[in-house]
A and B are shown apart, each in its own frame.
Chain A
Amino acid sequence: MGSGDPPKGDYGQGKDALERVQAMMQWTPQGRALGFEVTKLDGAKVWGRAPYKAELIGDPETGIIAGGVITTFLDQLSGMAAVLAMREPTTVATIDIRIDYMRGAEPGRDVLAEAHCYKIGRNVAFVRAVAYEDSPDNPIAHAAAAFMLNTQGKTGANLRGKKT
């Protein structure tokens, strides 16, 4: 169990930012097991991919991926957006997440998603996310989530969000 501290640094900024954020995604055993990837960063926005895998099928008749995979993907990518919105990144914990499923994901295709931390306070970050195959205009699912920032007693300017 346990593989040390999460990767340190200002995750979303500068050279190799994408590699650092990808390393953080892979730091999570469940994210690793599902094969989650981070593909693009922009401020407090993050884009990712959940590859299609036969072992993740939720409906064997159609081959549609399980809703739980979309839940886990949107939860993790949303948490990543919250981390990217912080000046001094730390871990976050999901307070709640609400997910609307518009339709099943297309069988055999990777699921893409983007998450945006649109508001961050001293203790709580608010994130919206959408999952799709080609474009957010044709969504599979939408999520709205709140995250508690694990500030370990530290509050103040160092944790106030940067511009989103």
Chain B
Amino acid sequence: MSPQERLTAALARIPYAGFLGVRAELKGDELTLVLPYSEHLVGNPLLPALHGGVVGALMELTAITQLAIASKSERFAKTIDIGVDYLRSGKPVDTYARARVIKIGRRIANVQAEAWQNERSQPIAAMHGHFLVAD
């Protein structure tokens, strides 16, 4: 299996990834998670805007998946804490997220992530978190 196929298979085993409808795109060792727009992801139907929790969940999923790639592990790390900053409301369009592993220690990894929609330079949210590296 290619790394892309392995990644797709790993995500397919996570029911919640299916609930959100995310798919993974791998370019070298850089992952992009794609969250296609769907009505059930909306938090505020008046605007309409994506639910902040969904955008947070997308970035967290991106962070632990990128971390698995960076640490060459088949298992996902456990989340210790995350902080999510909301920068713009999520429009009813597709959303993308990428994560950067800042440091992998013996037990804890520090990861940052960003989510954007039409323009990469206009992120809708940013996340930083600590993760317990699977042993």
Contact = CB atoms under 8 A, between A and B. Distances in A.
B135 to A, nearest CB: 15
B15 A76 contact: no
Contacts of A96: 83-86
B79 to A, nearest CB: 5
Interface in B54-98: 54, 56-58, 60-61, 76, 78-86, 89, 92
B11 to A, nearest CB: 11
A28 interface: yes
A55 B18 contact: yes
Given A67-B79, A76-B43, A56 B15 contact: yes
Instruction: Determine the main DSSP class of B at the interface with A.
Output: mixed
Given A2-B46, A71-B60, A94-B52, A57 B15 contact: yes
Interface string B28-69: 000000000001111111101001111011101100000000
Interface string A75-109: 11000000000000001011111111100100000
A2 B18 CA distance: 24
B19 A71 contact: no
Chain B, interface size category, equals 35 or more
Nearest to A6: B46
Contacts of A27: 45
Given A1-B92, A60-B13, A66-B14, A97 B52 contact: yes
B20 interface: yes
A58 interface: yes
Contact of B51 (A66, A67, A72): A72
Chain A, interface size category, equals 35 or more
Contacts of A54: 15
A134 interface: no
Contact of B14 (A57, A74, A93): A57
Nearest to B81: A100
Contacts of A56: 15-16, 19
A101 B56 CA distance: 14
Interface in B6-31: 13-16, 18-20
A98 B56 CA distance: 10
25 contacts: A1-B39, A2-B46, A28-B44, A30-B42, A30-B53, A30-B54, A32-B40, A55-B15, A56-B16, A58-B15, A59-B76, A60-B15, A67-B57, A67-B79, A71-B57, A75-B52, A91-B44, A93-B52, A93-B89, A96-B84, A96-B86, A97-B56, A98-B81, A99-B84, A100-B81
Interface of B: 13-16, 18-20, 39-46, 48, 51-54, 56-58, 60-61, 76, 78-86, 89, 92
Q: Which 3 A-B pairs have the closest CB atoms?
A: A68-B57, A72-B53, A66-B16
